[in-house]
A and B are shown apart, each in its own frame.
Chain A
Amino acid sequence: MSFSIKKQGEVVVVDVEGQLIVGNRQELKQKVLDELEKGEKKFLIDFSQTGYIDSSGLGVLVSLSKKIREQGGELRLANLNDDLQTLFELTKLDTLFQISDTRERALESF
Protein backbone atom coordinates (compact mmCIF):
# COMPACT_ATOMS: atom_id res chain seq x y z
CA MET A 1 0.00 0.00 0.00
CA SER A 2 1.31 3.41 -0.89
CA PHE A 3 0.32 6.89 -1.93
CA SER A 4 1.79 8.71 -4.87
CA ILE A 5 1.37 12.42 -5.33
CA LYS A 6 1.79 14.38 -8.53
CA LYS A 7 0.67 17.71 -9.88
CA GLN A 8 -1.60 17.89 -12.94
CA GLY A 9 -1.99 21.55 -13.82
CA GLU A 10 -3.16 23.27 -10.64
CA VAL A 11 -4.45 20.05 -9.08
CA VAL A 12 -2.58 17.84 -6.64
CA VAL A 13 -3.51 14.27 -7.58
CA VAL A 14 -3.09 11.51 -5.02
CA ASP A 15 -3.24 7.85 -6.07
CA VAL A 16 -4.14 5.39 -3.32
CA GLU A 17 -2.56 2.04 -4.14
CA GLY A 18 -3.80 -0.88 -2.02
CA GLN A 19 -5.91 -0.30 1.07
CA LEU A 20 -6.71 2.90 2.94
CA ILE A 21 -6.98 1.65 6.48
CA VAL A 22 -6.09 2.35 10.10
CA GLY A 23 -2.45 1.36 9.55
CA ASN A 24 -1.70 3.90 6.81
CA ARG A 25 -4.32 6.64 7.04
CA GLN A 26 -1.95 9.01 8.87
CA GLU A 27 0.53 8.78 6.02
CA LEU A 28 -2.12 9.93 3.54
CA LYS A 29 -3.26 12.68 5.87
CA GLN A 30 0.26 13.99 6.38
CA LYS A 31 1.10 13.96 2.67
CA VAL A 32 -2.00 15.98 1.81
CA LEU A 33 -1.53 18.39 4.73
CA ASP A 34 2.08 18.99 3.64
CA GLU A 35 0.84 20.03 0.20
CA LEU A 36 -1.87 22.20 1.76
CA GLU A 37 0.77 23.92 3.88
CA LYS A 38 2.79 24.65 0.73
CA GLY A 39 -0.23 26.59 -0.53
CA GLU A 40 -1.89 24.02 -2.78
CA LYS A 41 -5.67 24.42 -2.94
CA LYS A 42 -7.04 21.83 -5.37
CA PHE A 43 -6.85 18.16 -4.47
CA LEU A 44 -8.03 15.03 -6.22
CA ILE A 45 -7.80 11.57 -4.67
CA ASP A 46 -7.95 8.79 -7.27
CA PHE A 47 -9.07 5.35 -6.06
CA SER A 48 -8.62 3.40 -9.29
CA GLN A 49 -5.92 1.25 -7.66
CA THR A 50 -7.57 0.96 -4.25
CA GLY A 51 -8.76 -2.28 -2.66
CA TYR A 52 -10.88 -1.43 0.35
CA ILE A 53 -11.26 1.47 2.78
CA ASP A 54 -12.10 1.07 6.46
CA SER A 55 -13.87 3.51 8.77
CA SER A 56 -10.65 5.26 9.76
CA GLY A 57 -9.77 5.72 6.09
CA LEU A 58 -13.19 7.25 5.50
CA GLY A 59 -12.65 9.41 8.60
CA VAL A 60 -9.39 10.76 7.21
CA LEU A 61 -11.12 11.75 3.98
CA VAL A 62 -13.76 13.63 5.99
CA SER A 63 -11.09 15.33 8.07
CA LEU A 64 -9.00 16.32 5.02
CA SER A 65 -12.07 17.66 3.27
CA LYS A 66 -12.75 19.96 6.25
CA LYS A 67 -9.16 21.16 6.53
CA ILE A 68 -8.86 21.84 2.80
CA ARG A 69 -12.14 23.78 2.81
CA GLU A 70 -11.01 25.82 5.82
CA GLN A 71 -8.03 26.93 3.71
CA GLY A 72 -10.29 27.89 0.82
CA GLY A 73 -9.49 24.77 -1.18
CA GLU A 74 -11.40 21.84 -2.66
CA LEU A 75 -11.11 18.06 -2.38
CA ARG A 76 -12.62 15.80 -5.02
CA LEU A 77 -12.63 12.03 -5.45
CA ALA A 78 -12.49 9.85 -8.55
CA ASN A 79 -12.68 6.27 -9.75
CA LEU A 80 -14.58 4.55 -6.94
CA ASN A 81 -15.18 0.93 -7.91
CA ASP A 82 -18.56 -0.72 -7.15
CA ASP A 83 -17.48 -1.82 -3.65
CA LEU A 84 -16.19 1.62 -2.71
CA GLN A 85 -19.28 3.25 -4.18
CA THR A 86 -21.39 0.96 -1.95
CA LEU A 87 -19.30 1.95 1.07
CA PHE A 88 -19.80 5.65 0.37
CA GLU A 89 -23.52 5.12 -0.15
CA LEU A 90 -23.94 3.10 3.08
CA THR A 91 -22.28 5.89 5.06
CA LYS A 92 -23.90 8.64 2.95
CA LEU A 93 -20.46 10.07 2.31
CA ASP A 94 -21.43 10.13 -1.36
CA THR A 95 -23.50 13.19 -0.39
CA LEU A 96 -20.53 14.92 1.24
CA PHE A 97 -17.96 14.55 -1.53
CA GLN A 98 -17.94 15.47 -5.17
CA ILE A 99 -17.17 12.15 -6.87
CA SER A 100 -16.32 11.66 -10.55
CA ASP A 101 -16.18 8.37 -12.40
CA THR A 102 -12.91 9.22 -14.18
CA ARG A 103 -9.82 11.23 -13.34
CA GLU A 104 -10.30 13.36 -16.46
CA ARG A 105 -13.85 14.35 -15.50
CA ALA A 106 -12.69 15.15 -11.97
CA LEU A 107 -9.86 17.35 -13.26
CA GLU A 108 -12.24 19.17 -15.59
CA SER A 109 -14.67 19.81 -12.72
CA PHE A 110 -12.33 22.13 -10.80
Chain B
Amino acid sequence: MAESRVAFDLRIPSDVEYIEGVVELARQRCRELKISPAKCSLNIPVALSEAISNAILRGNEATGGKHVRVRAIISDTDLVFEVVDDGPGFDVDECTRDCTTEENLTKEEGRGLFLMRQLMDRVESFRDKGNVVRLTLYRE
Protein backbone atom coordinates (compact mmCIF):
# COMPACT_ATOMS: atom_id res chain seq x y z
CA MET B 1 0.00 0.00 0.00
CA ALA B 2 1.32 3.45 -0.94
CA GLU B 3 2.54 5.56 1.97
CA SER B 4 0.73 8.88 2.33
CA ARG B 5 1.40 12.07 4.25
CA VAL B 6 -0.59 15.18 5.06
CA ALA B 7 0.74 18.13 3.04
CA PHE B 8 -1.46 20.63 4.87
CA ASP B 9 -4.44 20.68 7.18
CA LEU B 10 -6.19 24.04 7.51
CA ARG B 11 -9.31 25.33 9.22
CA ILE B 12 -10.49 28.53 7.55
CA PRO B 13 -13.40 30.85 8.34
CA SER B 14 -16.41 30.21 6.14
CA ASP B 15 -15.71 33.19 3.88
CA VAL B 16 -14.98 33.11 0.15
CA GLU B 17 -12.16 35.62 0.61
CA TYR B 18 -10.02 32.78 2.03
CA ILE B 19 -10.32 30.51 -1.01
CA GLU B 20 -7.57 32.03 -3.11
CA GLY B 21 -4.97 31.69 -0.33
CA VAL B 22 -5.74 28.01 0.20
CA VAL B 23 -5.66 27.32 -3.52
CA GLU B 24 -2.31 29.08 -3.83
CA LEU B 25 -0.90 26.95 -1.01
CA ALA B 26 -2.14 23.80 -2.76
CA ARG B 27 -0.57 24.89 -6.05
CA GLN B 28 2.72 25.61 -4.32
CA ARG B 29 2.81 22.15 -2.69
CA CYS B 30 1.95 20.52 -6.00
CA ARG B 31 4.68 22.41 -7.84
CA GLU B 32 7.18 21.29 -5.19
CA LEU B 33 6.06 17.71 -5.85
CA LYS B 34 6.67 18.20 -9.59
CA ILE B 35 3.03 17.58 -10.44
CA SER B 36 2.45 18.42 -14.12
CA PRO B 37 2.09 22.15 -14.88
CA ALA B 38 -1.43 21.77 -16.33
CA LYS B 39 -2.63 20.03 -13.17
CA CYS B 40 -1.05 22.77 -11.03
CA SER B 41 -2.49 25.61 -13.06
CA LEU B 42 -5.92 24.25 -14.03
CA ASN B 43 -7.19 20.99 -12.50
CA ILE B 44 -6.17 21.60 -8.90
CA PRO B 45 -6.99 25.32 -8.57
CA VAL B 46 -10.38 25.11 -10.26
CA ALA B 47 -11.57 21.87 -8.63
CA LEU B 48 -10.36 22.85 -5.16
CA SER B 49 -11.80 26.33 -5.50
CA GLU B 50 -15.18 24.79 -6.44
CA ALA B 51 -15.14 22.39 -3.50
CA ILE B 52 -14.30 25.11 -0.97
CA SER B 53 -16.78 27.57 -2.39
CA ASN B 54 -19.47 24.87 -2.35
CA ALA B 55 -18.65 24.14 1.30
CA ILE B 56 -18.89 27.83 2.26
CA LEU B 57 -21.94 28.83 0.23
CA ARG B 58 -24.00 25.62 0.25
CA GLY B 59 -22.73 23.39 3.06
CA ASN B 60 -22.33 26.18 5.61
CA GLU B 61 -24.95 28.33 3.86
CA ALA B 62 -22.60 31.35 4.01
CA THR B 63 -23.24 31.55 7.76
CA GLY B 64 -20.72 33.59 9.74
CA GLY B 65 -18.91 31.87 12.61
CA LYS B 66 -18.66 28.53 10.77
CA HIS B 67 -15.47 27.03 9.40
CA VAL B 68 -14.27 24.84 6.57
CA ARG B 69 -11.45 22.33 6.96
CA VAL B 70 -9.20 21.64 3.98
CA ARG B 71 -6.70 18.77 4.02
CA ALA B 72 -4.25 17.70 1.35
CA ILE B 73 -2.92 14.15 1.50
CA ILE B 74 -0.18 13.02 -0.81
CA SER B 75 1.03 9.56 -1.70
CA ASP B 76 3.24 8.22 -4.46
CA THR B 77 0.19 7.61 -6.60
CA ASP B 78 -2.48 10.15 -5.58
CA LEU B 79 -3.18 13.68 -4.50
CA VAL B 80 -6.23 13.84 -2.27
CA PHE B 81 -8.00 17.00 -1.10
CA GLU B 82 -10.69 16.77 1.56
CA VAL B 83 -13.01 19.71 2.18
CA VAL B 84 -15.19 19.45 5.27
CA ASP B 85 -18.18 21.64 6.13
CA ASP B 86 -21.06 21.56 8.62
CA GLY B 87 -23.77 20.91 6.04
CA PRO B 88 -25.98 17.84 5.66
CA GLY B 89 -24.01 16.57 2.67
CA PHE B 90 -25.18 15.72 -0.82
CA ASP B 91 -25.10 12.99 -3.42
CA VAL B 92 -22.47 13.88 -6.01
CA ASP B 93 -24.15 11.87 -8.78
CA GLU B 94 -27.60 13.28 -8.11
CA CYS B 95 -26.43 16.87 -7.88
CA THR B 96 -24.14 16.95 -10.92
CA ARG B 97 -25.83 18.25 -14.01
CA ASP B 98 -24.49 18.33 -17.53
CA CYS B 99 -23.90 22.02 -18.10
CA THR B 100 -23.10 21.47 -21.78
CA THR B 101 -26.64 20.64 -22.93
CA GLU B 102 -28.49 23.25 -24.97
CA GLU B 103 -30.88 23.83 -22.06
CA ASN B 104 -28.12 24.35 -19.46
CA LEU B 105 -25.45 26.07 -21.54
CA THR B 106 -26.88 29.56 -21.04
CA LYS B 107 -27.61 29.17 -17.31
CA GLU B 108 -25.52 31.25 -14.93
CA GLU B 109 -25.13 28.49 -12.33
CA GLY B 110 -24.62 24.74 -12.19
CA ARG B 111 -21.06 24.22 -13.48
CA GLY B 112 -19.24 23.63 -10.18
CA LEU B 113 -19.70 19.89 -9.64
CA PHE B 114 -19.45 19.25 -13.36
CA LEU B 115 -16.04 20.94 -13.45
CA MET B 116 -14.83 19.13 -10.31
CA ARG B 117 -15.67 15.81 -11.94
CA GLN B 118 -14.12 16.75 -15.26
CA LEU B 119 -10.89 17.96 -13.68
CA MET B 120 -10.38 15.31 -10.97
CA ASP B 121 -10.11 11.54 -11.35
CA ARG B 122 -12.58 10.90 -8.52
CA VAL B 123 -15.05 13.05 -6.55
CA GLU B 124 -16.78 11.60 -3.50
CA SER B 125 -19.00 13.00 -0.76
CA PHE B 126 -19.58 11.30 2.60
CA ARG B 127 -20.22 12.00 6.29
CA ASP B 128 -17.36 11.91 8.81
CA LYS B 129 -17.49 14.57 11.53
CA GLY B 130 -19.15 16.84 8.99
CA ASN B 131 -19.78 16.63 5.30
CA VAL B 132 -16.62 15.64 3.45
CA VAL B 133 -15.99 16.18 -0.24
CA ARG B 134 -12.93 14.22 -1.33
CA LEU B 135 -11.18 15.04 -4.57
CA THR B 136 -8.63 12.57 -5.90
CA LEU B 137 -6.17 13.20 -8.70
CA TYR B 138 -3.81 10.47 -9.85
CA ARG B 139 -0.27 11.72 -10.08
CA GLU B 140 0.30 10.02 -13.45
Interface residues of A (CB under 8 A from B): 1, 19, 21-23, 51-56, 58-60, 62-63, 66, 82-83, 86-87, 90-93, 95-96
Q: A-B pairs with the 3 shortest C-beta distances? A: A55-B111, A83-B42, A92-B100
Do A91 and B42 touch across chains, with their CB atoms under 8 A apart? no
Binding site for A on B (CB under 8 A): 16-17, 19-20, 38, 41-42, 45-46, 49-50, 53, 57, 99-100, 105-112, 114-115, 118-119
Interchain CA distance A23-B17 in the complex, whole Å: 6
Bound Cα distance from A54 to B19, whole angstroms = 11
CB neighbours of B108 from chain A (8 A): 59-60, 62-63
Task: Establish whether residues A96 and B49, one from each chain, have CB atoms under 8 Å apart when the complex forms.
Answer: no
CA distance A3 to B46 in the complex (A): 20
Cβ distance A54 to chain B, nearest Cβ, rounded Å: 5
Q: Are A83 and B107 in contact (CB under 8 A)?
A: no
10 A-B pairs whose Cβ atoms sit less than 8 Å apart in the complex: A1-B20, A21-B49, A22-B53, A52-B45, A53-B46, A54-B53, A54-B112, A56-B112, A83-B41, A90-B119
Q: How far is the CB of B75 from chain A (nearest CB, A)?
A: 25
Contact indicator A55/B112 (Cβ below 8 Å) = yes
* C-alpha gap A26/B111 in the complex (Å): 17
Give the residues in chain B near A63, CB-CB below 8 Å. 108
Complex alpha-carbon distance, A60 and B20, angstroms: 18
Q: Which chain A residue shows the least CB distance to B114?
A: A91
Q: Which partner residue on chain A sits nearest B57 by CB separation?
A: A22
Bound CA span A6–B118, Å: 35
CB pair B50–A62 under 8 Å, yes or no, is no
Assuming A55-B111, A83-B41, is B16 touching A22 (CB within 8 A)? yes
CA distance A56 to B38 in the complex (A): 21
